Amino acid sequence: MRRIFAALAALAPALAPTAAQPVQTSASAPFATAASAPVIAAAPGGFTYAGELTQGGWLRGTVPRGTVALALDGAPVDFAADDLRFLVAFDRDAGPSAMLIATLADGRIITSPLAISPRAWRIERVAVGPRPGAVPSEEFARRRAIELERINAARRIASGSQGWRQDFVWPAKGRISGRFGSQRIYAGTPGSYHSGIDIATGASGTPFVAPADGVVILAAASPFTLEGNLLMIDHGNGLNSAFLHCSELAVREGDTVRRGQYVGRIGATGRATGPHLHWSIKWRDARLDPILFTGPMD
């Protein structure tokens, strides 16, 4: 990951591009037919970007000089006014193509077609249907509605953090007991896929750290019904991390945290079968694969 980011930082309009990026001046231009992840691309006078051009992945880059508006598939995207940098990301179920569109001050439109490579998710097919669950009580439904509103309200907070620009580090080291995107199919009916990555440590109380700079947007004072002691950190630009099942939180809402800073301890609170840290990342509504931000665990 660090090699990719270093390569991006080295790109500049005055330098020859490392690879030709498809840049069109017509919104009807065809999408690129091939892409790889990770990818580094540049074009003089156009976009530059680097990252993981795949389902659950992301891109960081710079917009063309003179850009006054940026969009991904028609949805507005923020970019930094000082150095023109931006971040976009692609959901676990993202389609095969996307389009970056920059509107320049002189009225020109510069587009960059993106080909999003598919992933081979870990799918387990079970011949029987899902085990019927108990009907949720009125108390559970009441509590859950409040919890979901708190989570959604936290994700609407724009902290202004610049952590999205950084290389991410693993919040903790341990056995990977659950992979992002894995899913069970019950007698042909898909269950919910795993929305993050699980790090099992074998015992409660293991400390974990912030994977990047950010602002604490939610720190549960009491356990949530499913997530247990929940911690959420906003890294800025629509990117945030959530940490579930904690035994203890060391920060409070509104705190600014730095990459590598101790923020809590791993546990088994909420709906968990053993001590582990569930780490999930979202960009806006897109669910992302944490391992694509860190690379394999050392």
- Tell me the three-class secondary structure of the chain, residue by residue: CHHHHHHHHHCCCCCCCCCECCCECCCCCCCCCCCCCCEEEECCCCCEEEEECECCCEEEEECCCCEEEEEECCEEECECCCCCEEEEECCCCCCCEEEEEEEECCCCEEEEEEECECCCCCEEEECCCCCCCCCCCHHHHHHHHHHHHHHHHHHCCCCCCCHHHCCCCCCCCCEEEECCCCEEEECCEECCCCCCEEEECCCCCCEEECCCCEEEEEECCCCECCCEEEEEEEEECCEEEEEEEECEECCCCCCEECCCCEEEECECCCCCCCCEEEEEEEECCEEECCHHHHCCCC
Residue 222 confidence (pLDDT) above 90: yes
Average pLDDT, the chain: 85
Domain endpoint, select from 54, 80, 115: 115
Q: Can you give the pLDDT at residue 134? A: 61
| Percent of the chain whose pLDDT exceeds 70 | 82
Same structural domain, 59 and 152: no
Same structural domain, 282 and 181: yes
Tell me how far apart the alpha carbons of residues 65 and 46 are, in angstroms, rounded to a whole number.
8
Average pLDDT over residues 252-265: 98
Average pLDDT over residues 89-94: 98
Residue 120 confidence (pLDDT) above 90: yes
Q: Can you give the pLDDT at residue 205? A: 96
pLDDT in tens, 228-251: 999 999 999 999 999 999 999 999
Domain endpoint, select from 115, 150, 166: 115
Here the CATH number for the domain that contains residue 286 is 2.70.70.10
Average pLDDT over residues 247-264: 98
Across 139-153, b (16+ Cβ under 10 Å) vs e yields eeeeeeeebeebbee
Same structural domain, 104 and 162: no
Tell me how far apart the alpha carbons of residues 216 and 241 are, in angstroms, rounded to a whole number.
10
Same structural domain, 57 and 198: no
Same structural domain, 130 and 104: no
First to last CA, the chain: 13
Q: Can you give the pLDDT at residue 25? A: 32
Average pLDDT over residues 24-33: 29
Tell me how far apart the alpha carbons of residues 47 and 102 are, in angstroms, rounded to a whole number.
9
Instruction: Kindly report which listed range (34-43, 199-208, 243-252) carries the lowest average pLDDT score.
Output: 34-43
Q: Which domain holds residue 220?
A: 123-294
Same structural domain, 255 and 140: yes
Average pLDDT over residues 94-115: 95
Residue 29 confidence (pLDDT) above 50: no
Q: Can you give the pLDDT at residue 78? A: 96
pLDDT in tens, 44-79: 568 999 999 999 999 999 999 999 999 999 999 999
| Sheet containing strand 207-209, strands side by side | 207-209, 262-265, 248-249
Same structural domain, 276 and 169: yes
Same structural domain, 94 and 188: no
Model confidence at 9, pLDDT cuts 50, 70, 90, reads: very low
